[in-house]
Amino acid sequence: MKKKFLALGLAFAMVVSMTACGEGETQVATVTATPTPGVVASVTATPTPTPTAAAVRANYVKPQAASVDFEDGSLSFVKMYLKQANASDAALEIATLDNSKALKVTRTNTSKVPFVAFDVKGLLGEEAAAKVAQVDFTIATEHADGKFYPTEGNVTAWYTDADGKRVENNLEGGWSVYLANRNPKNITYTVPEGCSFGTDGTFMITLTGDVDPAASASFYIDDICFIDDKGVVLRADTSVAFTAPAGFENTGHDNNLLYVNNETVLDGFAVSAGGWAQAGIDLTDEQRALIKPGSVITISYKCADPVWMVAIGDNPKGGWLRGIDQGTFVPKAYVGADGGTIQYTYEQLVEFWGEGFESHISTLQCEGKSDWEVYEVKVGTASEFGGFSEKLEIPGMAVSAGGWAQAGVELTDEIRALIKPGCVFQVEYKCDAPVWFVAIGDNPKGGWLRAIDQSTFETCGSVSPEGGVVQYTYEQLAEFWGDGFEQYLGTLQCEGKADWEVYSVKIGKVIKPSYNNTAIDGMAVSAGGWAQAGVELTAETKALIKPGCVFNVSYKCDSPVWFVAIGDNPLGGWLRAIDQGTFETCGAVDAENGMVQYTYEELVQFWGEGFEQYLGTLQCEGKANWEVYSVVIGQTK
């Protein structure tokens, strides 16, 4: 039957996962319109290696024509997708496979997943991309020891529907390469009814893990055929550059890192060295003056593990001092999600170098466990500004006025209910200086109250490094309006020193950067809606759970997952960490990147003070099919 295509806004991804498998040969299935959670194939058995030689691919028949055959050596239309929590980078190269050129994917991190993306709209053009009814391609695997290992995987498609929502589909039954004489193997993906590559069309093939790390499979992709509903293989322009569709790339600030104001680059600190070797610069007086309480040193680097710093000088603690625990060589620092940025606060370095260490440093160096390169080192001042998790935008607060004039709205009961300890107000504005709030109501402290020091009119809020956004915590406002001020708040207004305009006022929470991050082993789990999965916690993991810590959960689900605690808690042996009246999360959500953060104090609301001593098993749960990639415990400053 002739397939009908709708003109939909589309971001389409095809994900091929690869793991060790059991016995038998599985036929290629077409994608259905029913989402199936998860892209990582599970292990059904430990494979027995089968030695092979040149005859491994003897039965493979190469297609006569393909849209992309890699013979021209071009890779400009290919890009790694790194946004998903379990995604990792990979080395991409054109390699020879059976006297034919193919794309070879070599993982750089065997515990994570390389997502290899192809720009279909760019390759085919919008009109031809919309005609694609089927995609054929070949998969081949190769192992470092020269032997054949049975493998299986999955294919997942994601695209944007007419409402702008991303929808996922999976290749039912997945794909498999079980036999040595069927490697490479042809894989077929059939575009489901109502889907189109015509807008922002992207096609992704993904390798998800080797069960046996010793196998170290490389992943080959070749002979990609984009086929229309008449069976015609469409021609591709492989000279195009990859154009990322909406939602493909990480945007904005990395919530693993601190916001930093007034950064200065340390000249000359672009250095490199081998493992356990050091390189750096002699500091000038001007550079030393930047390093002081409240400062942050941000390092952009390349290394398999985070780099650390070495201080050389006349420090009473020693003339040569590492800024790291030499028992573990795990940095006490904020590490970026991309693994290429690390931040050390002055206070973290004091632990190793002592108070006032900056006066004793003559040379500052970097060091790493393996070959490393540092591209840039900057010093600035830590900001209290943070990544924002929005609960609600206050309607009607897009207002403006002249200097020292006020404008705002009367608050509803629903809005007042969101104003409570721990919440944050985020104001997007235009003015020469940050705007502040004015509270009007029946507050015992006064009927008209500014939230600012009226002797200086300097904001108590945290301003974004670029300006134009200021955040006020409940606790900062309580200094001016008193605890429980929300019950007296009738009208909320803004005010500024000069002509001002407010674009929005939102209520939510701040996502807190964390350091000393430790992943809970075994918490890469999944389940159906209202089902739970997790692990029994070790004594070492429980020791990390204490006041001030945070849990960062990387997940995939229609709404944020939450925790379930199982143990001998006096409050109950099975306890959810969520309001069971609304099932609205208490955590701070980074929806764009699939992360929710729970603070120790938020969990205390459900599990009680000192809950960690009663915690035997920690599980996750969600309203719909869900998958958790990792649960990481960290500390906040």
**Prior bond to 184 cis, omega within 30?**
yes
Q: How high is the pLDDT of residue 515?
A: 94
Q: Give the C-alpha separation, 637 to 632, whole Å.
A: 16
Amino acid at 209: G
Q: Give the C-alpha separation, 632 to 282, whole Å.
A: 37
CA 437 to chain centre: 33
Q: Is 572 exposed, middle or buried (0-12, 13-18, 19+ CB in 10 A)?
A: middle
Length of the chain: 637
Which pair of tokens denotes residue 623? Answer: 């309203």
Q: How high is the pLDDT of residue 166?
A: 65
Q: Give the C-alpha separation, 156 to 35, whole Å.
A: 9
CB 483, CB 420: distance < 8 Å: no
Q: Give the C-alpha separation, 223 to 104, whole Å.
A: 13
Q: How high is the pLDDT of residue 402?
A: 98
CB 408, CB 501: distance < 8 Å: no
Name the phi and psi angles at 612, rounded to 5. -60, -30
Amino acid at 8: L
Within 13 A of 275's CA, how many CA atoms are on the CB side? 6
User: Helical H runs in 324-440?
Assistant: 346-353, 413-418
Query: The pTM is what?
Result: 0.73
Q: Closest Cα partner for 112 from 90, 87, 135?
A: 87
Amino acid at 36: T
Residue with tokens 């946004």: 83
Ordered mean pLDDT values, 10 residues apiece, the chain (637 residues):
30 42 34 33 38 38 79 94 78 89 85 82 89 89 81 70 66 78 88 76 59 60 92 94 81 87 95 98 98 97 94 98 96 89 97 97 98 96 93 96 98 96 96 97 98 97 94 98 98 98 97 94 96 98 96 95 98 98 95 92 97 98 96 91
Q: Is 406 helix (H, G, I), strand (E, B) or coil?
A: strand
